[in-house]
Amino acid sequence: MKRRELLGLVGGTGLGWSVLSGVARATSSASAAGAQRVVIVGGAWAGLSAARELRQRAPALDVLVIDREPVLRALPLSTPWLVDRTPERMPRLDRTALAAQLGYRFVAADVLRIDRAQRSVVTAQGGPYAYDWLLMATGIAYDYSAWFGADTQAAQTARALYPAGFVASELDLLKTRLQSFTGGNLLINVPAPPSRCPPAPYERAMLLAWWLKSRRIKGKVTVLDAGGGMPRFTRLFGERYPDHIDFHPHTTIRAVDPFARTVSTDGDDVHFDHAMLLPPLRASAVVEQAGLLGHDPQGKPTRWAGVDPLRLRALQDERVFLAGDLLDTVSPLFGHYPKTAHMATRLGVAAAQQIAARSRAGGAANASEPPLALPHSVCHVWLDADPFEQLRIETQYRLRSDGLITQAVSQHDNPQPRGEELQWGLGLYTDALGVK
Ligand SMILES: Cc1cc2nc3c(=O)[nH]c(=O)nc-3n(C[C@H](O)[C@H](O)[C@H](O)COP(=O)(O)OP(=O)(O)OC[C@H]3O[C@@H](n4cnc5c(N)ncnc54)[C@H](O)[C@@H]3O)c2cc1C
């Protein structure tokens, strides 16, 4: 099927591929006897790109992807859908069907533990799964401890009532909760970096303001930003939605009372009628369990997976590779790579190339390791909803002669978009994940 046909299908109905949820089922469950085994934990942008690349580059390897969710749901392009400005733009992908098409294995299971000494992955549903090479691609988790300490009940209540929608499995709940909003103060917040898709909260504020205005809902969006904001957006907040967006820079949430619907900041307490509460982010719990966290210059563990940025290898283990949003800092010049889907696909491919080379060399780190293909990222965000207006943010990377990675960021206005964002999104499916 050609990209043009895909665009026709997806543009018209919102959905439409042969690997849509539930269409194809068959996949082999047995691993090839004697082959080196690669287990990929996390089957989204980073993990599935890596699986596809390994299939092409190292067909002799036995590749298994494990993810707790059987269906991939996309966060990119989800915000206009959230406010009913577009149908769901990115199709949902059946991971089992995709694996069957491309010739790797997929297991839907929750990974509880990595046993690095035994080189095995322990899940709640089966296994253990032995590996020669492990790729961790588990994305992010919410760190509610910053707000609730050890009170997991309060954290669960906050998440159930006021989901942030920064993990894909929350999107439907987020939309249902939003539709019950009848007016008052709609609170969103921007935590301290690094965060997922940095412009996403600002895009959300703009589109939510449009949603309130166009539906004549008597309310406003209050944005509490731990940082100073993105100038491109904060200017527009004042120019276009002065009555609908109340922006508070340098305001960090310190505590949340989900029952009284109040957040405490360093200054005032803020009451809300509804909220999308985004706690600080971190790598998912299994990264810490596996002993793969990075360390800051003082030796304190960070919240992210410590990585050799030029090999995408875990700092603690030659057999473990890392890709996607879970990475710790990669350069003292700019810190983290932006946590975007586009970036995750490039990192997944690059990590797969490293694994393929190491497996060919019988495990030895030697001169045959390819130099890392440095990633790049493209992000399309909406500046406004009616008429549509977009911004494309690109980041490029270069290796300096002193061995440090440099970053260059550019922003491009697109005042009359003609589906470029959809073309880009579907391109990730076809070019990176291998959807046919
Ligand atoms: C509102 C919003 C808009 C966005 N828009 C864009 C955009 O326009 N462009 C863009 O490039 N990016 C965008 N992003 C960012 C993008 O969604 C992320 O950067 C991307 O999802 C990261 O991919 P990943 O593969 O690293 O992690 P994830 O997508 O988080 O995938 C990790 C996978 O690991 C699985 N997993 C985790 N732990 C376990 C476990 N213990 N056991 C089994 N499975 C596990 C999860 O189920 C998940 O499928 C947006 C994000 C948000 C929140």
Mean pLDDT of 56-78: 97
Weakest-pLDDT range from 10-14, 78-82, 149-153? 10-14
Report whether 398 contacts 405 (CB < 8 A). Answer: yes
Distance 44 CA to ligand 1 centre (A): 6
Q: Which amino acid is at 301?
A: P
pLDDT at 370: 75
Residue 139 Cβ < 6 Å to ligand 1: yes
Regarding the beta carbon of 196 and ligand 1, being less than 6 Å apart is answered yes
Q: Is residue 312 pLDDT above 70, yes or no? A: yes
Q: How confident is the model at residue 371 (pLDDT cuts 50, 70, 90)?
A: confident
**Orientation of helix 45-57 relative to helix 95-102, angle to 10°:** 10
Residue 328 has pLDDT above 60, yes or no: yes
**Secondary structure of the chain as H, E, C letters:** CCHHHHHHHHHHHCCCCCCECCCCCCCCCCCCCCCCEEEEECCCHHHHHHHHHHHHHCCCCEEEEEECCCEECCCCCCHHHHCCCCCCCCCCEEHHHHHHHHCCEEEECCEEEEECCCCEEEECCCCCEECCEEEECCCEEECCHHHHCCCHHHHHHHHHHCCCCCCHHHHHHHHHHHHCCCCEEEEEEECCCCCECCCHHHHHHHHHHHHHHHCCCCEEEEEEECCCCCHHHHHHHHHHCCCCEEEECCCCEEEEECCCCEEEECCCEEECCEEECCCCEEECHHHHHCCCEEECCCCCEEEEECEECCCCEECCEEEEEECCCCECCCECCCECCCECHHHHHHHHHHHHHHHHHHHHCCCCCCCCCCCCCCCCEEEEEEEEECCEEEEEEEEEEEECCCCCEEEEEEEEEECCCCCHHHHHHHHHHHHHHCCC
Record the tokens describing residue 356, joined without a space.
């393929």
Cα(14)–Cα(17) distance, integer angstroms: 10
- Ligand 1 pocket test, pick from 41, 45, 93 with the greatest ligand atom count within 8 Å of Cβ, gives 45
Which protein residue has the closest C-alpha to ligand 1 atom 37? 138
Per-residue confidence (pLDDT) for residue 19, from 0 to 100: 62
Instruction: Find out whether 164 and 195 touch, Cβ atoms under 8 Å.
Output: no
Closest atom of ligand 1 to 338 CA is 19
Same domain, 129 and 14: yes
Cβ–ligand 1 contact at 197 (below 6 Å):
yes
Domain identity same for 238 and 134: no
Q: Is the pLDDT of residue 24 over 80?
A: no
Same domain? For 165 and 270 the reply is: yes
Q: Inform me whether the pLDDT recorded for 33 exceeds 90.
A: no
Domain stop point among 241, 262, 282 = 282
List the domain range (segments joined by +) for residue 297.
3-139+284-369
In a domain, 403, yes or no: no
Contact 39, 114 (CB under 8 A): no
Which of 236, 255, 282 is the last residue in one of the domains?
A: 282
**What's the pLDDT tens digit per position in 230-241?**
999 999 999 999
- Tell me what the mean pLDDT of segment 91-113 comes to: 97
The pLDDT of 119-141, averaged and rounded, is 97
207, part of any domain: yes
Same domain, 149 and 245: yes
Q: Which atom in ligand 1 lies closest to the alpha carbon of residue 378?
A: 11
Contact between 3 and 426 under an 8 Å Cβ cutoff? The reply is: yes
| Whether the CB of 68 sits within 6 Å of ligand 1 | yes
In the chain, how many domains are there? 2
**Residue 157 and residue 52 share a domain:** no
Q: In this structure, is residue 231 part of a structural domain?
A: yes
Residue 137 beta carbon below 6 angstroms from any ligand 1 atom: yes
Burial letters 236-263, b for 16+ CB under 10 A, else e: bbeebbeebbbbbeebbbeebbbeebeb
- My answer on whether 291 and 269 are in the same domain is no
Interaxial angle between packed helices 200-214 and 231-240, expressed in degrees from 0 to 180 and rounded to the nearest 10: 10
User: Which of 66, 138, 349 maximizes ligand 1 atoms within 8 Å of its Cβ, making it the mutation to test the pocket?
Assistant: 138
Q: How far apart are CA 165 and CA 15, in angstroms?
A: 21
* CB of 46 sitting under 6 A from ligand 1: yes
Instruction: Give yes or no for a contact between 17 and 91, defined as CB atoms under 8 angstroms apart.
Output: yes
Nearest ligand 1 atom, CA 47 = 25
CA of 341 to the centre of ligand 1 (A): 7
Domain shared by 229 and 120, yes or no: no
**364 CA to middle of ligand 1, Å?**
32
Residue type, 125: Q
Is residue 86, in this structure, part of any structural domain at all?
Answer: yes
- Please check whether residues 131 and 250 belong to one and the same domain: no
pLDDT at 13 over 60: no
What is the domain-level CATH number for residue 209? 3.50.50.60
pLDDT for residue 4? 46
Q: What is the pLDDT confidence band of residue 365, given thresholds at 50, 70 and 90?
A: low
Q: State percent of the chain over pLDDT 90.
A: 88
Whether 392 maps to a domain, the answer reads: no
- To test the ligand 1 pocket, which listed residue (67, 111, 136) has its Cβ within 8 A of the most ligand atoms? 67
Q: Both 177 and 255 in a single domain?
A: yes
- The one-letter amino acid at 140: I
Residues making up the chain, counted from first to last: 436
Question: 79 CB less than 6 Å from ligand 1?
Answer: yes
Centre a 10 Å sphere on the Cβ of residue 266 and count the other Cβ atoms it contains.
9
Phi-psi label, residue 103: left if phi above 0, alpha if psi -120 to 50, beta otherwise:
left
| Per-residue confidence (pLDDT) for residue 23, from 0 to 100 | 35
User: Is the shortest distance between the CB of 45 and ligand 1 below 6 Å?
Assistant: yes
pLDDT of residue 18: 54
**Nearest protein CA to atom 17 of ligand 1, as residue:** 75
Q: Are 20 and 94 in contact (CB under 8 A)?
A: yes
Hunting for tokens 């009359």 — which residue is that? Answer: 416
Together in a domain, 249 and 298 = no
Q: What is the pLDDT of residue 12?
A: 37
Does this model's pTM top 0.85? My answer is yes
**Ligand 1 site, residue 67, Cβ cutoff 6 A:** yes
Q: Which residues are paired to 133 by β-bridges? A: 38
My answer on whether 171 and 126 are in the same domain is no
The ligand 1 atom at the shortest distance from the C-alpha of residue 166 is 53
Distance in Å, CA 164 to ligand 1 centroid: 14
- Spell out the residues 6+ positions from residue 23 whose beta carbon is closer than 8 angstroms to its own: 94, 97
For the ranges 28-42, 336-350, 382-396, the lowest mean pLDDT is seen at 28-42
Q: Within this chain, do residues 215 and 321 fall inside the same structural domain, yes or no? A: no
Q: How far apart are CA 104 and CA 27, in angstroms?
A: 8
User: Domain end: 340, 369, 398, which one?
Assistant: 369
